[in-house]
Amino acid sequence: MGRKATNTKVQIQNLKDRGMILDYEEVKVKECLLDIGYYRLGFYWNPFEIDDKHNFIEGTKFSDIIKLYYLDVDLRNILTKYINRIEINFRTKLVYYVSNKYKESPTWFDNPTILNRKFVDDLGKFYNPNFIRDNKAIKKHHAKYRNDKYAPAWKTLEFFTFGTILNIYRNVKDEDIKIRISKEFGVLNHNKFNSLMSATVLVRNICAHGDVLFDLRTPRGISVIPDINFNKNDRSSLDACIKVILYFLGKVSENRKKELVEKITTLFEEASKNSTLKKIITENINYKQ
């Protein structure tokens, strides 16, 4: 968009000048720009740009950009529901096994003999007056137990983010506990488990913050385990992440896994009726049924 704001009239002319076919009525194009935003839509027409002046591939249609945007939205909404099942299951196992191993330390997440010192020293970033104020159960605990510095783990970790929960898992010193949890998800090596769960957290964060999903590439290739077959050996694509999510979901509930497969298949099959979206699904997402 450059360094100065532009109105929809200028934005529409920019798209025309760059070669986009505006195959909606102008009033509808304006409505989309005011609804979604020129800047946000730019992430979805970016794959159709051919040079540093942002000109478009011949035949690029505005309607296809909008359809790609809503494909992304629908996919985020679908994945969010099922990732939540994985998150709750993982959190429950972590709290259960560590709390029962260290019963004399109900706030074990602040104990440097149980967790690495670095996490304990940084705990104030997660557990602070704002955290107490914003979470009703934690606020209630401190109102009742005024001398407690922290609420017990089974209360506290309910309100930590998925990413923080995974960070706690990484920082548990007891290797046996980490292995026990990873084995419950069918992964023998807890370092590989961490890689797989990191991909799940990454997708969760993208979905939660409404970021662009279809062109996701993980920072590192996801670890290989026998039960996950990555399409074209691509371990960084969105499809690779979806395969990991399906794997974990199957360890939580086979019925939920089947549901997710059906929903993704239906979504992609319907979208693939559009040749432009079909190319995005097979090449950018790297999906193959």
**pLDDT tens for each residue of 103-133:** 999 999 999 999 999 999 999 999 999 999 9
Specify if 3 maps to a domain: no
User: What's the pLDDT tens digit per position in 170-188?
Assistant: 999 999 999 999 999 999 9
Place of tokens 């296809």: 64
The answer to whether residues 17 and 158 belong to one domain is no
pLDDT tier at 259, thresholds 50, 70, 90: very high
The answer to whether residues 123 and 150 belong to one domain is yes
CA distance 128 to 132: 6
pLDDT tier at 277, thresholds 50, 70, 90: very high
CB atoms within 10 A of CB 247: 19
Identify the pLDDT of residue 5: 84
pLDDT tier at 288, thresholds 50, 70, 90: confident
The answer to whether residues 17 and 110 belong to one domain is no
Please give the angle made by the CA atoms of 232, 238 and 244, to the nearest 5 degrees. Answer: 80
Specify if 12 maps to a domain: yes
Q: Cα 232 to the chain's mean position, in Å?
A: 22
Q: Provide the domain count of the chain.
A: 2
Specify if 178 maps to a domain: yes
Residues of the chain above pLDDT 70, percent:
99
Segment 247-257 shows an average pLDDT of 98
Give the residue from 28, 27, 6 showing the smallest Cα distance to 17.
Answer: 6
Q: Give the SS3 label for residue 267.
A: helix
- pTM as predicted: 0.94
DSSP, residue by residue, 2-67: TTS---HHHHHHHHHHTT-B--S-HHHHHHHHHHT-HHHHHHHHGGGB-STT-PBPTT-BHHHHHH
Q: At what angle do helices 26-35 and 38-45 cross, to 10 degrees?
A: 100
For the CA atoms of the chain, what is the radius of gyration? Answer: 23
* pLDDT above 90 for 155: yes
AA identity, residue 239 = D
Specify if 219 maps to a domain: yes
Domain of residue 30 covers 8-60
Segment 161-176 shows an average pLDDT of 97
Specify if 1 maps to a domain: no
User: What's the pLDDT tens digit per position in 3-30?
Assistant: 788 899 999 999 999 999 999 999 999 9
Segment 151-179 shows an average pLDDT of 97
Q: Which of 60, 81, 100 is the last residue of a domain?
A: 60
The answer to whether residues 37 and 142 belong to one domain is no
* pLDDT above 60 for 165: yes
* pLDDT above 60 for 1: no
Place of tokens 């104030």: 124
Identify the pLDDT of residue 2: 59
Contact criterion met (CB below 8 Å) for 212 and 257: no
CA distance 162 to 144: 27
The per-residue pLDDT of the chain, averaged, comes to 96
CA distance 96 to 179: 14
